[in-house]
Structure 1
C-alpha cells in the first residue's frame, strides 16, 4: 500500500523567510505533477513516505559554485526513486536570485534534479550518449510528447544538453531546442513553464504523473531548426554558476516499511461527493491574475472530479447527485469567472485553446454524474453548458402537464 506523494522540505538554516517560501512553492508545484504515492522507507530511524529534502543556505564556495542539489538516498525497489535529497545554495547567490526575480524558477528547477530529472537518466538507461555531441533522452513518454510538440506523427528522442561542464551536460534539456522551458540550463527571469515533456520524463523514471498539470508550452519556430548542439553557442548556466550534482546511495532492502492495508469502507458508506474543503481552499487561494492560474486551478479540480466519477461506476451514488453536480459546476465556474469576468483582475477578450479543451473534458466527466442524477430526479433530459466568461451550468428538464 502506497501513500499520496509528498515532498517535505526541512530547513537547516541560512535561509530567509521569503527564500523558505520559494522552496515551499516549488514543492507544491512538483506535487501537482507527481500524483502517485511511493513505498515508505526508513532512513536513520525516520519513516519517509515521499521524499525528504534538506535545504540550507551556506557561505559561498571558494570556487564560485552556486550550490549543490540532488538525491542522496534511493529506494531499494525498482525503479529506485529518490527518498531523500539535499539542496544547498550560497547565501549571496540566493540573495542575487531573489533580487533579479529568478529565485522561484531556480529553486523549482533544482528540486526537479532532486526528484531525479537529469540525475538518474544515465543509471536508468534513458540517456543515449553514443554521440557525445548529440545527447538525447529516450524515455517513451517524453519522446511521445516531444513529437507532439514538434507536430510530427511519432515519438522523437528529446535533445539533451551536450555542451558545458559538470552539472550541465547530460542532465538538462538542450537550450537550443527548449528555449524558455524550466529544465534547460539557462534561467534569466521568472515564469519559466514546466512542459508536458518534462512531466512525461518523470513518468519515464517511474513516477505516476498528471500530464495536464504541465504549463502550456510551445517551441519557438525559429529554434526548431537549431536542435543540434553545435549550431548555437551554449549559454551560461542558471544563476551564473554551477550546481554540483550528488552521488546517491541505494538503500538496503530492509529499509522498506510494510504498510498495513486500511480496512475497506463498506459500500453502503461510500457515495459520490462534491469538491472537498481542501480543494475549495486551494482554489480560493489563487490570485487569478494570469490565464495560467485558471488552467492550473481547473487541473486541480479535474483530478478530484475524476475520482468522484470513478466512484459512480463502483459504489453508492448518494441521495442527491444533482447537488453534487451543481457543486462541481459552481467551483469550475468560479475559477473561470475569476479570470475572465468583466471585473476580474485580467480582462481577456477570449480564452486560450487550453482552457476550453480542459472544460470540454470536464463536461464529459460531469455528464457521467448528471446522467444518474437525472434518473434519480426522474427528469426526461439534462444539459451542461459552458459560456464565456462565466463558466459552466447544468440543468434538468421535465415534461409539462
Structure 2
C-alpha cells in the first residue's frame, strides 16, 4: 500500500472501476450496480481530501478453486492526515483509500452468477476497498500513531462511535462494542462483523424486523440474501465518509432503542 498526505478540496464520493483485459463482458454489469449501490449510501468525505475518485482495478483469476475463497480485495494506495472531520470536535488521525483492487476466483464466478450471489460478493469486496476492515486501527509508519483508531487486532471489539450507536439501535442496546470476527484465519478475522464460524448457523442477534446478523453484508461468510445494516454505514461514517442516513439519525435511533471472503491489509511504505 502506497501512502501520501491528504490535501486539496472536498468532493462528492465517486468510484471508478477499470476492468482487467480478460474480464468477460457478462461479468461487468454487477460492478456497475455495486458502484451505484455504494455511491447511493456513501455520498461525500467528511474532510477536504483532494480525492476526485476512488479507482478500483477489477479482475477474475484463479485463487483456490471452487467453494473456497470467492474474492480478494483491499486498498493499494491511501491518503492520510491529522485533521478534524466534519461533525467532530477534535482532530484525529485518518486515512482513506484512493486506489484499490478486487480479484474474484475464476472457478467460482459462474456459480455465483447462477445462484444470484455475484452482485452481493462484489458489493462486499468493494466495501473492503473503500476501507471496511482494511483501514481500521493502522500504525502506518510503525511509530505508534494509530490511524482510524477504533479497532485493535485480536480484540474482537469495534468501538467507533457511529458504528456502535447504530449497532445499539439495530441489534443490542446494551452493547459496549460491535463484535468483530476472530475466526476464519487471516483475511477473515479482524476484518468482518462476527457470526458463527463458517456462517453455519443463526447468531440470534437480529434487527427489529428479524434479520439475523448472519445475513449482514459484511460478515465473513456469504449467506444470501444479504442486507446492509446501519451498523456498517455507521462504520463508514467513523472512517470519515458522509453517509445516508445522517449519523445524527443513527445516534437518535440508538438513544431510543458458507464460502469465505478474503481481505488484504498489506502496506508498503514510501521512503
Q: Same fold (TM over 0.5)?
A: yes
* Alignment equivalent of 2:218, drawn from 167, 183, 192: 183
* Alignment equivalent of 2:165, drawn from 139, 144, 149: 144
How far apart are 1:161 and its partner, in Å? Answer: 0.6
* Alignment equivalent of 2:232, drawn from 198, 216, 224: 198
Is 1:72 the counterpart of 2:76? The answer is: yes
* Alignment equivalent of 2:27, drawn from 19, 29, 34: 19
How far apart are 1:138 and its partner, in Å? Answer: 0.5
Query: Does the 8 A contact of 1:70 with 1:246 survive in 2?
Result: yes
* Alignment equivalent of 1:126, drawn from 150, 155, 164: 150
In 2, Cα distance between the equivalents of 1:144 and 1:169? 22
Higher strand share: 2
Query: Does the 8 A contact of 1:73 with 1:251 survive in 2?
Result: no
5 Å-filtered alignment, 1:2-401, equals 2-37=10-45, 39-40=49-50, 49-61=52-64, 65-78=69-82, 79-123=94-138, 124-129=148-153, 132=154, 135-150=156-171, 152=173, 156-175=176-195, 176=203, 177=205, 178-189=213-224, 191-211=225-245, 236-238=258-260, 242-249=261-268
In 2, Cα distance between the equivalents of 1:248 and 1:203? 23
Query: Does the 8 A contact of 1:180 with 1:193 survive in 2?
Result: yes
Q: Deviations over 1:97-147 (max 9, x none)?
A: 111111000110011011110111131221145xx4x61110000111111
Taking structure 1 as the reference length, what is the TM-score of the superposition? Answer: 0.49
Q: Deviations over 1:5-34 (max 9, x none)?
A: 100011113322332111111111111111
Query: Does the 8 A contact of 1:168 with 1:237 survive in 2?
Result: no
Say if 1:210 and 1:250 are closer, same or farther in 2 by CA, change over 3 A.
farther
In 1, Cα distance between the equivalents of 2:23 and 2:41? 26
Gaps of 5+ in 1: 42-48, 214-235, 253-401
Q: Which has the larger radius of gyration?
A: 1
Q: Deviations over 1:182-239 (max 9, x none)?
A: 10112133x41111100000111111112269xxxxxxxxxxxxxxxxxxxxxx443x
Q: Please list every run of at least 4 consecutive aligned residues from structure 1 whose deviation after the TM superposition is greater than 2 angstroms.
A: 13-18, 37-41, 59-68, 248-252
RMSD: 2.5
Query: Does the 8 A contact of 2:71 with 2:104 survive in 1?
Result: yes
Say if 1:88 and 1:185 are closer, same or farther in 2 by CA, change over 3 A.
same
In 1, Cα distance between the equivalents of 2:112 and 2:78? 30
How far apart are 1:251 and its partner, in Å? Answer: 7.3
Paired residue for 2:90? none
Gaps of 5+ in 2: 1-8, 83-93, 139-147, 196-202, 206-212, 248-257
In 1, Cα distance between the equivalents of 2:80 and 2:246? 30
In 2, Cα distance between the equivalents of 1:59 and 1:150? 37
Higher helix share: 1
